[in-house]
Structure 1
Amino acid sequence: MHHRPGARLTDRGGTTYRYSVRTRRGVAYSVGVGFISSFLGIGGGVIHVPLLVRALGFPVHVATATSHFVLANMAAVGTVTHIAAGSFAGGTGIHRAIALSLGVVGGAQVGAWLSQRTKSVIIQRLLAVALVGLALRLLVTVL
């Protein structure tokens, strides 16, 4: 496995995070997250962040930011794909995409602000609650 020891990131607030990156393993996990989240019809962040933290050793704050970055890029690719395929013919789809994009950009800013002010353990507990909620939702949907 490709392993890049000693990755270092300093955020805008001056906090420095040190961790190692297992690139190939991370790519494999991300492919799996993409498949599972698409299969289940859910957002991938609730699966992606715990994997980055527990399986790859990312600091929680770095994992949440990385997950947001990946998901934002995937959403952009999906939107461009729909535009190219003509899915937005008639105008209503593009208006929905613009409204959704504005909400996502605003929500991401609020989320990033909150993340900087929240302890890692709280973020992990909230993710655990989200996973339990997701499991219950899927269980109810199946039954």
Structure 2
Amino acid sequence: MSVFLFILLGVAIGGFGTLIGAGGGFLLTPILLLCFPSMSAHAVTAISMITVFFNSSSGSSAYAYMKRIDYKTGIILAVATFPGAIAGTILTAHVSRDLFNIIFGAFMLIFAVVIILKSRMGNSSAPTDAPGRFRAKRNLIDREGNVAAFSFNMAAGIIISMFVGLISGFLGIGGGIVHVPALVLLGFPAHFATATSHFVLVFSSLVSILVHLGDGSLTQNAAMSLSIAAGTVVGAQIGARISKRIKGSVIMLCLAVALIFAGARILYMGLV
């Protein structure tokens, strides 16, 4: 593939990744696995994570302008992802491609089912006066004047974020495919969950990138990584703006469909 095609790929991945708050890694990783069968899982995740970083950084700037990021929660959850992100990134270097494909594909299919079940249950946003320990209350207003008053269990969010960091570093997907539905389940409105998840991805992906830089897996494919990353910066801005016109339920459905498509394909690759 030429540099131009890598940039176009980045635009598409950045747009859809930002739209659903997943950073785009869950799309790029299966594409790389399919197009480069001889590339190691560690190298694939290294390329994916630098794309996630640029995509989430660009998308977060757009969401910041829209005032949809819960910064206080985002910083806490980002710090919680650090230990797992480091461990997961190191672990990938010791896993074969076939095993990685099986784990990656199975994980995406399972989580697609979780998202579909969640969509059937409706909006679980909890009111700010909901009882419970470790419950944080939020009253957010975006740039268009939409008010989101809700509460959620901060302790549960931290535990989930620790797990997100691990799978993010190991699978090279950024972790947004877990964080967005998890935040919605905890009580976040979908649009604020998407924006806050993107903000968390900036920091968790940076930690993984630093580990990859240390072991040299990222510098081996620098041209490809930077070309795709450049495209995601543009795509992220497009995706963030489109998100203003799409309902939260549609965002979750798009995420589930994408997970099923990518997960089935990669699982098949690992089994045959």
- Structure 1: runs of 5 or more not aligned: none
- Corresponding position of 2:152: 21
Conserved 8 A contact 2:136-2:152: yes
1:51-66 correspondence runs (5 A): 51-54=182-185, 56-66=186-196
Please give the root-mean-square deviation of Cα atoms over the aligned residues, in Å: 2.5
- The 1:111/1:102 distance shift into structure 2, 3 A limit, reads same
Give % identity: 42
Determine which structure has the larger strand proportion and give its number.
1
The count of residues paired between Structure 1 and Structure 2 equals 138
State the Cα deviation string for residues 76-124 of structure 1 (Å, max 9, x = none).
33334555x373669x73x555444433322221111111110111111
| Greater alpha carbon shift after TM alignment, 64-73 vs 29-38 | 29-38
1:1-143 correspondence runs (5 A): 1-5=133-137, 7-54=138-185, 56-83=186-213, 85=214, 87=216, 93=222, 96-143=224-271
- The 1:46/1:58 distance shift into structure 2, 3 A limit, reads same
Question: What TM-score comes out, normalization by structure 2 length?
Answer: 0.44
- Corresponding position of 2:62: none
Shift of 1:127: 1.4
Conserved 8 A contact 1:3-1:23: yes
- Whichever residue aligns with residue 108 of structure 1, its letter is A
- Whichever residue aligns with residue 104 of structure 1, its letter is T
Determine which structure has the larger helix proportion and give its number.
2
Conserved 8 A contact 1:50-1:127: no
In 2, Cα distance between equivalents of 1:99 and 1:15: 37
- The 1:89/1:127 distance shift into structure 2, 3 A limit, reads closer
